[in-house]
Amino acid sequence: MERYRSAIQAVQSITPEPEAATILGLHLEGPYLSSNMPGAHAMQYLRRPRLDELHYFDPDFVRIMTVAPELPDVIPLIQALAARRICVGLSHSVASYDQTIAAMEAGACFGAHIFNAMGGLHHRYPGIVGALLAEPGLTVSLIADGVHIHPALLNVVVKAKGPQGVCLISDGVAAAGLGEGEYYLGEQKVTADSNTVRLANGTLAGTALTLDQAVRNMVNLAGQPAAAALQMASTSPADLLGLSHKGRLAPGCDADLILLDENLTVTLTMIKGKIVYRS
């Protein structure tokens, strides 16, 4: 747990360059996750929730914390995190529908990378996926790389939640933007090819996806309108985090903008009203 504290402090200490993106906070995925759905997480670090460990997580800088809703003692933890205005996410879980609804009623508001590292959807036992799709109070995130989720199911999620209920994410790891090769995810070696990042046993371990490519994939692979794909990459995540000055074009909002061409390729980037990149 001390490594959590030191990692949070390390990110907090970064002074962004004037022409660089601003760090809005952290999403902690774990350590309170299910050993039945670890994904690429190292099993030895997964643990049951404990309220007396909350002091390791800075409520002013941690924006999201993802937990498994079926774990013992998770409901008091969710209530405590929500009281600190931390968005509680649900994932890496084999929770039942009822367990997921109970977590939502305790304050959870988010489903992290829906379908991935979750129990499957069954017509009589909808489980965590069914609850995330059915409940309007739960926003979900999508990894739109064409591998983690089939394009047809990308559309199913958007039809169920609407663009306002979906956030596109990269789920990016160290390989993002660096090409094929070997990298590390924590202490574990991962291998990136042209389309995936995997552990040695073949388990998907995040992605090398960038968010602009995720937008293009939602349009080109899933057939979503460009306006909807862009909403899922901007306004929806800003709303999830309660950032009314981000993710929209409106008077008084931050002038952090990108300009895209007809192929949805970035041609210009503006930060705080200043142009910092042109293609």
Whether 130 and 192 share a structural domain: no
As annotated, the active-site residues are 171
Whether 52 and 186 share a structural domain: no
Whether 66 and 198 share a structural domain: no
Asked whether residue 260 is domain-assigned, the answer is no
| Cβ atoms within 10 Å, residue 182 | 9
Whether 118 and 167 share a structural domain: yes
Q: How far apart are CA 198 and CA 63, in angstroms?
A: 27
pLDDT tens digits, one per residue of 145-202: 999 999 999 999 999 999 999 999 999 999 998 989 999 988 899 999 988 999 999 9
Whether 139 and 195 share a structural domain: no
How confident is the model at residue 58, as a pLDDT? 84
Continuous segment of H or E residues that includes residue 4? helix 2-12
CATH number at residue 160: 3.20.20.140
Q: How far is CA 116 from CA 63, 91, 105, 147, 180, in A?
A: 21, 8, 23, 11, 23
pLDDT bin (cut points 50, 70, 90) of residue 53 is very high
78 pLDDT exceeds 90? yes
pLDDT tens digits, one per residue of 218-274: 999 999 999 999 999 999 999 999 999 999 999 999 999 999 999 999 999 999 999
Write the DSSP symbol of residue 71. S
The range of the structural domain enclosing residue 63 comes to 2-171+220-247
Asked whether residue 191 is domain-assigned, the answer is yes
Query: Letter for the amino acid at 172?
Result: G
Q: N- to C-terminal Cα distance for the chain?
A: 43
Query: Letter for the amino acid at 52?
Result: D
Q: How far is CA 166 from CA 48, 154, 194, 247, in A?
A: 28, 10, 26, 14
Are 94 and 86 a contacting pair, CB within 8 Å? no
Residue carrying the six token digits 């099993």 = 43
Whether 27 and 155 share a structural domain: yes
Whether 127 and 157 share a structural domain: yes
204 pLDDT exceeds 90? yes
Asked whether residue 266 is domain-assigned, the answer is no
Query: Phi/psi of residue 139, each to 5°?
Result: -85, 150
The closest alpha carbon to 114, from 99, 93, 85, belongs to: 93
Q: How far apart are CA 4 and CA 7, in angstroms?
A: 5
Whether 190 and 159 share a structural domain: no
Whether 142 and 195 share a structural domain: no
Q: Is residue 175 exposed (0-12), middle (13-18) or buried (19+ Cβ within 10 Å)? A: buried
110 pLDDT exceeds 90? yes
pLDDT tens digits, one per residue of 111-157: 999 999 999 999 999 999 999 999 999 999 999 999 999 999 999 99
Write the DSSP symbol of residue 160. H
Whether 42 and 112 share a structural domain: yes
Q: What is the pTM of this model?
A: 0.94
Are 117 and 141 a contacting pair, CB within 8 Å? no
